[in-house]
Amino acid sequence: MAFSSPRAGLSISRRVLQQCKPPLPLQSFASPATRSFSRSPARQQEASFENMAAEPATDAADAVPNEQDMPRWAKTPDRMKAPFSLAIPKEGDAAPAWKINEDPAVLDEFYERFLGRNGHKLLPEELKWLAVTHKSFDQGRRGFNTRLAHFGRQVLVLEAVRFIMATPAGLSAPVEGEGAEPVPEPAAELEADRKPFEHPALANIDKLSFMQPQTLLSQGKITRLAFRIRLNEVVRWQPRNAQDLKNSGQTIVVHSALYAIVGALSLQHGAAVASRICRDRILSRLEI
């Protein structure tokens, strides 16, 4: 039989070979249960999950507390420190004798003295240190209380307004040399011509003419209160001259630290708690 072309002969031979091909052995059609489980995808996936679960446990076991894990208030961050200090003391310069409190127990005693029993539990550890830290301490690298002091001042001014309006008229007279002059009484002939508007809600507004919040919360009064509760012993700051704290700005530092504590309490517990602390622990102790 002659082939018409080599391609036709190749296709015929391929068909003959397919028909004569022996059947596959029975072992290739064995059930999946007879296969080895060590190479199954499910087993490999389970092993991978076991490895992933074991990795965090190994890391947690190897993790040991060190200086890098210390909070920011307790240690200056390493990335914010220079490799060497530029403040090189000259020969003959006296070593600075300024010492800053680093003992948490001393700080807790101050909060109990200022806020009462268990007062140190009202704030978390980070906020307790941040509220008494001035921006001059450690160049501000551990955080400082400027924003807390601004917020606390607004809270205390609001409570001072309420305190003045709730004070009886006889006690709202200003202290000599610190308050505004009393408003003079109007003339008798003008009294019959005018009829001022009266309302129960406005009955205490006139008290603000005799005493204002800045008079009640003067820097001298707040500073004297801060020294009575010994806030100056726990505040963290760096004076310009350790031998002359007054001219180095100790008054402003202690003044702002007291405001910062009020701001921290207001942010942590809300306006109701901050209002009560302002009335009971600050305004009631001021010299009116």
> What pLDDT score was predicted for residue 184?
54
Q: Report helix, strand or coil for 202.
A: helix
Which pLDDT tens digit goes with each residue over 68-79? 667 766 677 766
Cα–Cα distance for residue pair 194/187, rounded to 1 Å: 11
- The residues near 146 (Cβ < 8 Å, ≥ 6 apart) are 135, 256
Query: Minimal CA–CA distance to 74: which of 41, 51, 107, 42?
Result: 107
Q: Are 235 and 254 in contact (CB under 8 A)?
A: yes
pLDDT of residue 91: 61
Task: Tell me which of 43-47, 108-112, 154-158, 195-199 is least confident.
Answer: 43-47
Q: In which band, very low, low, confident or very high, does the pLDDT at 241 lie, cut at 50, 70 and 90?
A: confident
What are 177-219's pLDDT values in tens digits?
A: 444 455 555 555 566 677 878 877 777 787 887 888 888 899 9
Say which amino acid occupies 152.
G
For the chain, give the percent of residues with pLDDT over 90: 33
Q: Which domains does the chain have, with CATH numbers?
A: 97-170+216-287 (1.10.1520.10)
Q: Quick one: DSSP state of residue 284?
A: G
From the CB of residue 265, how many other CB atoms can be counted at a distance below 10 Å?
25
Q: Which pLDDT band, with edges at 50, 70 and 90, does 92 fall under?
A: low
pLDDT above 60: residue 171: no
Q: Find out whether 133 and 256 touch, Cβ atoms under 8 Å.
A: no
Instruction: Specify the higher pLDDT residue, 147 or 11.
Output: 147
User: Is the per-residue pLDDT at 125 higher than 80?
Assistant: yes
